[in-house]
Structure 1
């Protein structure tokens, strides 16, 4: 029985969730999280994609991602393959690192973009890992909450902040406070 082909709409963002095999940890320590972010950075150079929000949890990760030139299935396949190679080599393992194919859902509108990003950023709080999303270092939320000198090249913060009016700092503050953007 063949799997249903994924629908790729190159101008839409998708919410991607990928879990470790048997719900085992994907990230055991800081260097694993850093390796995953490095893989995103490296792949972005060859296959440009945009991430509006991300959160790397212990046994799964969330991406709010758009790939306009190459199907997101190809991008996700490359991300997961490179990370699996890294993980299996580092921990001297063989076999599957990821549970199954990643879950994806297309984001249709502005409300969906904001809802999905807030859901992604709230995951560590819901899991009781931190009290506030800005305290979780493996999420894109600190990029929105704090003034950061270096934003990863794969991040497209404007895809969320451009729904708001004002300066960059005012937009960030409105986003982080959960303000509704003006109706256009």
Structure 2
């Protein structure tokens, strides 16, 4: 069966992820992977007009929240994955392809769903045991938003970080450990093509009203 034609939405962003082949690590030091991905994210921002909200590099995959005002997300991501794959093969002994498959995208169709995805992305390193606080993880655009690290990735202005008070509140929210069932609900919703929370005992999820 052929793949359904993709119509890129522009009103809200997408959560995008891709994993290294066979769930392996990328084959080079994470610092080098980060540099390569930062370069190419900067390029697709300039060349394709991609607007980036958040990016986090994990051990063998990445999480990206971005929108495509020019309805060219597929073209931009194909370029990004092709170029980063080539860059990482050049830096390592890998002779086969870098990524296990195409990228997966999930349309984030409301501001509340955006908050769920936003926290899921920035909190991913904490849940994976790579750090204890979201702001401690090095390979995240959060470092740039906090002014703790210069990054090449152009991040959209974010009202969560406009003032000292909003910064404190946002960090407190991101660092608050969610209930396991809520974390799992968001994880599963992000596996769909459009973010959709499963019902709980035939009732709407509490996440339809409250941020993760």
TM tier, shorter chain?
Answer: 0.7 to 0.9
Alignment of 1:50-61 (within 5 A): 50-61=51-62
CA gap of 1:153–1:94, structure 2 versus 1, over 3 A, is: closer
Which residue does 1:101 correspond to in 2?
102
TM-score normalised according to structure 1 size: 0.84
- The answer on 1:147 being equivalent to 2:142 is no
RMSD, aligned α-carbons? 2.1
1:173 to 165, 168, 172: 168
Alignment of 1:75-94 (within 5 A): 75-94=76-95
Cα contact 1:15–1:64 (8 A) shared by 2: yes
Which residue does 1:138 correspond to in 2?
139
Following TM superposition, by how much is the alpha carbon of 1:70 offset from its aligned partner in structure 2, in angstroms?
4.1
Alignment of 1:31-50 (within 5 A): 31-50=32-51
Deviates more, 1:118-127 or 1:35-44: 35-44
Following TM superposition, by how much is the alpha carbon of 1:33 offset from its aligned partner in structure 2, in angstroms?
1.1
TM-score normalised according to structure 2 size: 0.74
Output the CA distance in 2 between the equivalents of 1:153 and 1:57: 16
Instruction: Encode CA deviations 1:81-119: one digit per residue, 9 max, x unaligned.
Output: 000111112214332211111111111111111110110
- List gaps (5 residues or longer) in structure 2: 175-212
Cα contact 2:26–2:60 (8 A) shared by 1: yes
- List gaps (5 residues or longer) in structure 1: 180-184
